[in-house]
Chain A
Amino acid sequence: MSSTDQAKGSRAFYSNVRSSLQETEKVNRRDMLGLFMPMIRDAAVNEFGGFEELRRHVKNIKQHSLDNLYHYLSQFVEEAKSNGNHVHFAQDSSEMNSIVLDICQQHDARRVIKGKSMVTEETHLLPHLQSAGLEVVETDLGEYIIQQAGESPSHIVGPALHKSVDEIRELFMRKHQLGERELEGPAEMVAEARTVLREHFLKADVGIIGSNALIAESGYSMLVTNEGNGDLCANLPKVLIICTTMDRVVPRANDAMALLRLLVRSATGQPVTCYTSFYSGPRQGEDTDGPIETHIVLLDNKRSDILDSDYREMLQCIRCAACLNHCPIYIGAGGHAYGSVYMGPMGSVLTPLLTSLEESNALPNACTACGRCAEVCPASIPLPDLLRDLRHDETRAKLSPTRWRVGMKIHAWLLSHPWLYHKLTALGIPALGWLGRKKGSFKSLVLANGWTDERDFPAPQGRTFMQQYQSQRDDNEDAG
């Protein structure tokens, strides 16, 4: 099953997971990713020296920026306007899409090239522009591949990492009308995409990019890429549109540098990307190239609500994908299973906040509480805590199944009466042990079929932990 057939919307998470686990080749690819990405991140972090100190510093900077967002956003807007940009505010996705389309139409644009931008994925900008008759080409190689395949990103940094070399070869053979050719390995495929995309770059009327940081003191926007595609989008067409959000604002260039040091190491294990660029606005004075007109579109889409909520810390996210690479659920299920633009731990927090908990209540449950995401998150976001809080909200809003809620209530009541809990387990566990004494395990068990559907449940052996603990303590006391 391809991601395109996968049920859309995060509600279908459970059925999506079931299907994605059947795709053995993709499961293996993800396992490799889950091994390889943490390794290169760890190497980069160790090489840095005081990475923890850097992490703390960036967390303080991000929190300070969010605490004073009114001040810094106002400053950024003022500086950006004085640099010659048009600055737009979009309350929601449809406003952002309309603003961008309007700009394109004002310039009679026909061809648009796009750099990688999660914000425009969030607003589904591409289909909006295409339905108005514009030719829009994604230029980040990963994004280009999934655009050609008609899929959505499976990872926020490597959108096409779910596709094998064979799949991409077959896709290029079908989509690029270039006749007989071998197209052996990745190098040849990259070369082919380079030639095809070069033509788009040179003919485009409008370039659209995202931003990794907005610098309040100077109105510059930072762009981080390895391919240089974003820079081509920012430099060649006559019109540049930067689609971004207010939580990207940092006070100074040095703060953007601190963030860059964390972001790149956490995302790809490099100390820096090949291209780190800062753009202030349109061409000026003696400039011989660059866009004649530049626009910055700032999307809110509930971020101001998140800022005013207990989930504010989620706005510290710098979109590095380390939490995805370290998450057993993401590695197991794959990005498409989430049915949303953002996936993995960060997506499981962000999606319910950007859509609604009703629509996405499965996602905060996609967590084993292992805590790896919080350990590696460069922005120090307590992801497992936020996921737990969302599950709490889910229970309070009665969105989880009644059986589950009643079960949890009984469980909680029992735990708050330890003597009764111990009594019941002291009775129940031996009984279960006795029932399973022959086979040593259960193939199915009432109220636990979620477990026994996948594997046998071992029959308890001997006494409970508490019984053993108690008797050891008694022995020790006697000995003492």
Chain B
Amino acid sequence: MITKTQDSAQSDLLGKLRRVGGNASAEQIGAELNRLGQTPVPLLPAQELCEAFLINVLKNQGTVACAPDRSEAVKCVAKYLHERFHTRKIVAGNDPRLAAMPWRDGGVLPRFGAAEQEFSSPPTPASLSYARLGVAETGSIVTFTGKSNPAANNLLVEDHLVLLDVADLVANLDDAWQRINAAMEEEGRPRGINFISGPSSTGDIDAQLVMGAHGPRAWHVILMGDVPDEALDNARSFIEQRLNQL
């Protein structure tokens, strides 16, 4: 039973918090917060940003491809779809950047909208998102919710493919938020901001890592643009060496 109105419950608690502390002015609090300084950031596994990002995507159990331009990127999508599902079909959000991709170059047949959400129908094999940002520190990509990124496309498909422009790659999570805050200034706050860093996974049974807990079983990132020639090879050999060390 709720005995009090919510307004009085709120003022009761806030009143109590005010008594416990909280006499400082907003300016004083802000100044004190600024004095606490910047967050320390972790070391990147490589100096070059693309390479560091690719390494971390691979560490997150993702797979990667690099494409110098959009036409090659479409071909990468086609190759992936063929190898995994023998299909040319993919679901993509209503994102103008996705609509403008040269689909014919790879013979890919996109359907714009949301992935299958009827339980009685088979799940959609693959979806494609266009990331707002990539984060080298964590091997993450960032999307905002909305019609360009239906939640079903990130979460209810078998495989999730992501396109990322090299220009949208940032070094760390703080840089990512700087860009996100700037975007929010212009577009307002989106309902959701999603950092995705790998396929859906679980270790809940016997602490063994299994992919595809509820969401995608595989996650494929295509880095588009001016990626240094050796970045992908270096990233792969980094991972190989790591595996050999284990």
Contacts and interface: CB of A to CB of B under 8 A. Distances in A.
Interface string A174-217: 00000000000111011100100111011100000000000000
29 contacts: A33-B207, A47-B43, A48-B43, A57-B36, A89-B13, A102-B2, A158-B203, A158-B207, A165-B205, A168-B205, A168-B206, A186-B206, A191-B212, A198-B119, A226-B201, A227-B204, A232-B155, A235-B155, A253-B180, A257-B174, A257-B177, A268-B203, A272-B60, A275-B200, A283-B191, A286-B147, A288-B94, A288-B147, A288-B150
Q: How large is the interface on B (under 10, 10 to 19, 20 to 34, 35 or more residues)?
A: 35 or more
A387 B105 CA distance: 66
B140 interface: yes
A227 B202 contact: yes
Given A70-B22, A71-B22, A276 B151 contact: no
Interface of B: 1-2, 4, 6, 9-10, 12-14, 16-18, 20-22, 24, 26, 29, 32-33, 36-37, 39-40, 42-43, 56, 59-60, 94, 114, 117-119, 123, 137-140, 145-147, 150-152, 154-156, 173-174, 177, 180-181, 184, 189-208, 210, 212-216
A284 interface: yes
Nearest to A202: B119
Given A77-B10, A280-B190, A307-B17, A274 B205 contact: no
Interface residues of A, number: 103
A290 B100 CA distance: 26
Contacts of A50: 40
Given A227-B214, A277-B194, 13 more contacts: A47-B42, A49-B40, A73-B17, A98-B2, A228-B154, A228-B214, A228-B216, A232-B215, A279-B192, A283-B191, A289-B151, A290-B145, A304-B13
The listed residue with most A CB atoms (<10 A of its CB), out of B16, B43, B181, B204, is B204
B9 A287 contact: no
Contacts of A280: 189-192
Interface in A257-310: 257-258, 260-261, 268, 271-284, 286-290, 298, 300, 304, 307-308
Summarize A's interface: helix, strand, loop or mixed: helix
B146 A287 contact: yes
Most buried by B among A48, A54, A189, A202: A202
Count chain A CB atoms within 10 A of each CB in B29, B37, B56, B192 and give the residue with the most: B192
Given A190-B202, A202-B119, A64 B2 contact: no
Interface stretch (A134-142, A374-382, A464-472): A134-142
B147 A70 contact: no
A289 B203 contact: no
Contacts of A449: none
Contact of B212 (A67, A190, A258, A286): A190
A149 to B, nearest CB: 13
A99 B147 contact: no
A289 B195 contact: no
Name B's interface SS. loop
Contacts of B208: 185-186
Contact of B204 (A88, A145, A288): A145
Contact of B2 (A95, A273, A274, A284): A95
B188 to A, nearest CB: 8
A278 B193 contact: yes
Q: Which of A36, A276, A284, A289 is the most central at the interface, judged by chain B CB atoms within 10 Å of its CB?
A: A289
Contacts of B4: 91
Contacts of B197: 272-276
Contact of B213 (A64, A141, A165, A281): A141
